[in-house]
Amino acid sequence: MSTERYSFSLTTFSPSGKLVQIEYALAAVAAGAPSVGIKASNGVVIATENKHKSILYDEHSVHKVEMITNHIGMIYSGMGPDYRLLVKQARKMAQQYYLVYHEPIPTVQLVQRVAAVMQEYTQSGGVRPFGVSLLICGWDSDRPYLFQCDPSGAYFAWKATAMGKNYINGKTFLEKRYSEDLELDDAVHTAILTLKESFEGQMTADNIEVGICDASGFRRLEPSHVKDYLANIP
Amino acid sequence: MSLLARPHYPDYSTAPVQHQFYPYADNGGSVVAIAGDDFVVIGADTRLSAGFSIYTRNQNKLFPLAKTTVLGCSGCWCDTLTLTRILKSRMQMYAQEHNKTMSTTACAQMLSTMLYYKRFFPYSISNVLVGLDNEATTLSGTAKRRFTKLGGSAGALLQPLLDNQIGQKNMEIVSKEPLSQEKALKILKDVFISAAERDIYTGDSVFINIITKDGIQEDKFELRKD
């Protein structure tokens, strides 16, 4: 395509007004492992597939669902190493905020700061955009929040969304299943069902990861806890 | 040489003298704050001085930062002006980014970091930040039932007095009643009158801000002018 002529440098617009590198980054995200996030009335759930390519992999040593602060958690679809860097930066930004204001960082503020970092990598020399889309969930001001951060630096507030492989089907599934008065338990159930739609093979507590965030903060669910939820799924 | 060194002018000297610029000035003043359960009163004298001279008898040293947050400054007046301007600007930026006013605790923490930034060329100011957060009192970042904080030239002189009168320290008969606004104001006025008696830099009048959940009330009363 002629757009390929404009795709080598991130800082060059194509004639159609696109930054092709960002489009390619989004393609990297769409090829990544599926992840899902749902905001309930009393909390938020985020979940992702965490399949291992071989039985020799040491399960549960490295996590995809990560805590940023006591009240904010994160997952991703796309490139793992890029994700780890953003997790580290997000954690640092949250602590810096606390050092200045002695208050836990509001979720929106953290999202804005992370998105600003991602945007920097779309307008600097010699770098490439992050190959991840993030789902950031948090609880502050007595209410739940769910945000998506894209490689472009754009961020969106969602009631429910899916990313990664098969995300269009995932979103369609959520559109049918979502309701405003969903409780956290139901939301976890729905999230797991959404993941199942694009899951190849048998889903177990060892190949998915779930995190929830409510008034008492953010935590990753133990595999035993996830197992209980899976038991209720046909 | 000795012809010029006349005994009538002892200060006259032909020896070279190096002049230095000294960046600080002490413009005097005292600030007193007393906190109860759901109110804070903060008062500052209105005298601005330099050495034995008076610049003005009518300078307000209390700076309202938000509906229920007030900062009182004494010490170097030029530093006070700059600090309060920067603080106000930072609070505006916070409000624009967060879509809400800064809480008193956040303000106190931010003030602390701003001051530490200048650790090796400090703001020569004695700060007292008071306010309410969700209707509970905060005095310089900590919440207490009967708390006092003093700053400025008469601060050290009066702190023990307030520890006893408000904090009920070093006495046997302690009242369990909460501190009332009337009592706090009465003691605040007495404390300033005492300060004006002994401290030359405190006097003229006192500006008072009374902070409750409904906002800030202003009051003023006169002191010795000498």
Which residue numbers of B have CB closer than 8 Å to A's CBs? 97-98, 102-103, 105-106, 108-110, 113, 141
Contact predicate B193/B186, CB 8 Å: no
- Contact by Cβ (8 Å): A59, A65: no
Structure tokens at A150: 């894209």
What are φ and ψ of residue B105, in 5° steps? -65, -45
* ipTM score: 0.74
Interface test with A, best of B86, B97, B115 (most A CBs within 10 A): B97
Contact list in B for residue A103 (CB cut-off 8 A) is 103, 105-106, 109
Question: Tokens for B199?
Answer: 């401290």
> How big, in percent rounded to 5, are the helix, strand and coil portions of chain A?
35, 25, 40
| Domain residue ranges in chain B | 30-47+56-220
- Widest Cα–Cα separation across chain B: 78
Kindly tell me the burial class for residue B198, based on how many C-beta atoms sit within 10 Å of its own C-beta (0-12, 13-18, 19 or more). Answer: exposed
Could you confirm whether domain B30-47+56-220 is CATH 3.60.20.10?
Answer: yes
Instruction: Pick the closest to residue B184 from B51, B71, B42 (CA basis).
Output: B42
Instruction: Decide if A109 and B97 are in contact by the 8 Å CB cutoff.
Output: yes
Tell me the whole-structure pTM to 2 decimals: 0.83
A99 and B CB contact within 8 Å: yes
Residue found by looking up tokens 């060329």 in the block: B121
Give the contacts of A80 (CB within 8 A, at least 6 positions apart). A64
Residue owning tokens 């955009």: A129
User: In the block, which residue shows the tokens 């048998």?
Assistant: A202
Contacts of A101 in chain B (CB under 8 A): 102, 106, 109-110
Q: Which residue type does A169 have? A: N
**In tens digits, what is the pLDDT along chain B, a chain of 226 residues?**
555 555 678 788 888 888 899 999 999 999 999 999 899 999 999 999 999 999 999 999 999 999 999 999 999 999 999 999 999 999 999 999 999 999 999 999 999 999 999 999 999 999 999 999 875 555 553 334 678 889 899 999 999 999 999 988 999 988 888 889 999 999 999 999 999 999 999 999 999 999 999 999 999 999 999 9
